[in-house]
Amino acid sequence: MKTLKLITVFALTAVLGFTSCQSEENTEVGANPNANSSTSPTASNFERASMNDGSDDDFLDGNACTELLFPLTATVNGQNISIISELDFSTVLEIFAEFNDDADNVTFNFPIRVRTSNYTEVTVNNQEELDALNAACENAEAEGRDAISCIDFNFPITMLTYDIALEQTGTVVLQSEKQLYTFMTGLQADEFFTVNYPVSATLSNGTTVQLNSDAEFRDSISDCVQFEEEEDEAATMAAEVEATLTNTQFKVQSFVNAGVNTAADFADWSIEFTNDLKLVAKNNVNATLSEIEGTYAVSSDTSVFLNIAFGSNNTVSALNNDWVIATYSDTMVALQSKTDASITLTFQKL
């Protein structure tokens, strides 16, 4: 899932009141040659970072530009689901997770309402209108008009305003992302501003940072965007690994612990990864031995992980671990322990 919010071409800027006042006691009173214009990189960064985030429901509408508004109903893999709040997202995800080799399908019961990146609410009457919104979102991304969702400001934020002569005209105290977006998009060509730093913000990796300048803000954006790109790459890799494993039987080609390769202990066993996230270990030499069942799960952050759980005190329980995907191909998956990189496991497709 892509975590970037995008501008949509279907909505107009929402009008929102905010606090503005004249001041002669600010630390920046007077002419300020470092004031930013409406077309400055700082203005663009704040505008993009304050857009409405529509990415949390992308698994439903596939559109990071739009936020679905509740209530709504949809048919999910043939099941009619009422979605009253974000709490109901888990029901949809559980349906998606039932099988990992099927094509998940969501059909909305129109009309539905959405909130766009610039906070305008729009009624979508049919699939064609929804497709048009999605196409506009894709075009905006292709044109580099993507928004930044990896940084959340901790309000309030105070802006100092200036006229074309760079003389201070007042202050604006902003209490929300919507107010910040409205301020930035409402700046005229003869209006300038500076940020009354420091500004506190929380990045998508959970880190809270204090920004002390436009340059620090720019660098924080660069860092968190890179982090999200790494997350996106890992998510793509996780899907590829899961597809490689699903409905396939493997043998243990290598299992190294404390420098000793014990793959021979599993030579008679095949390991099948089913499409409902189950594991089945079967002895292919001695048919009298019962199959051993377990579970698996593929996940990711900036790396890709495979959890294997066969229970305890059985022939294959030594394979239990939280593994990191080291390398993989269509026929092989190589793993190393999340807690001890010296412990490695390689599965070879049968």
Q: Would you say residue 102 has pLDDT above 60?
A: yes
Query: 67 and 148 in one domain?
Result: yes
Residue-wise pLDDT for 317-346, tens only, equals 999 999 999 999 999 999 999 999 999 999
In a domain, 214, yes or no: yes
Residue-wise pLDDT for 161-203, tens only, equals 999 999 999 999 999 999 999 999 999 999 999 999 999 999 9
Q: Which residues pair with 282 in a beta bridge?
A: 270
Query: 277 and 229 in one domain?
Result: no
pLDDT of amino acid 162: 97
Which of these three, 183, 207, 236, is where a domain ends? 236
Residue-wise pLDDT for 218-257, tens only, equals 999 999 989 989 999 999 999 999 999 999 999 999 999 9
Share of the chain above pLDDT 70, in %: 91
Here the tokens at position 187 are 């700046």
Query: 315 and 188 in one domain?
Result: no
Query: 258 and 158 in one domain?
Result: no
Query: 271 and 289 in one domain?
Result: yes
Query: 273 and 148 in one domain?
Result: no
In a domain, 164, yes or no: yes
Q: Is the peptide bond before 41 cis (omega within 30 degrees of 0)?
A: no
Query: 270 and 193 in one domain?
Result: no
pLDDT of amino acid 140: 79
Question: Amino acid identity, residue 156?
Answer: P
Query: 52 and 163 in one domain?
Result: yes
Length of the chain: 350
Radius of gyration of the chain (CA): 26
Residue-wise pLDDT for 120-151, tens only, equals 999 999 999 999 999 998 887 887 677 899 99
Nearest partner of 265 among 255, 275, 280, 278, judged by Cα: 255
Could you please report the per-residue DSSP string of 274-320? -TTSEEEEEESS-TTSPPEEEEEEEEESSSEEEEEE--SSSTTGGG-
Query: 256 and 224 in one domain?
Result: no
Q: State the CATH number of the domain containing residue 271.
A: 2.40.128.270
Alpha-carbon gap, residue 171 to 166, rounded angstroms: 14
In a domain, 80, yes or no: yes
pLDDT of amino acid 141: 80
Which of these three, 205, 236, 267, is where a domain ends? 236
Structural domain including 272 reads 246-349
Query: 257 and 223 in one domain?
Result: no
In a domain, 134, yes or no: yes
pLDDT of amino acid 16: 37
Residue-wise pLDDT for 5-58, tens only, equals 333 333 333 333 444 443 333 444 567 878 999 999 999 999 999 999 999 999
In a domain, 218, yes or no: yes
Question: Amino acid identity, residue 119?
Answer: Y
For residue 266, give the 3-state DSSP assignment. helix
Query: 274 and 215 in one domain?
Result: no
Alpha-carbon gap, residue 324 to 342, rounded angstroms: 12
In a domain, 241, yes or no: no
Question: Could you tell me the pLDDT band of residue 111, with boundaries at 50, 70 and 90?
Answer: very high
- Report the number of distinct structural domains present in the chain: 2
pLDDT of amino acid 144: 67
Query: 142 and 16 in one domain?
Result: yes
CB–CB of 337/350 below 8 Å? no
Q: Which of 2-6, 95-99, 320-324 has the lowest mean pLDDT?
A: 2-6
In a domain, 229, yes or no: yes
Alpha-carbon gap, residue 94 to 188, rounded angstroms: 48
What is the average pLDDT across 153-160?
98
Which of these three, 185, 205, 236, is where a domain ends? 236
Residue tagged 């009173």 (tokens): 29
In a domain, 77, yes or no: yes
Residue-wise pLDDT for 280-314, tens only, equals 999 999 989 999 999 999 999 999 999 999 999 99
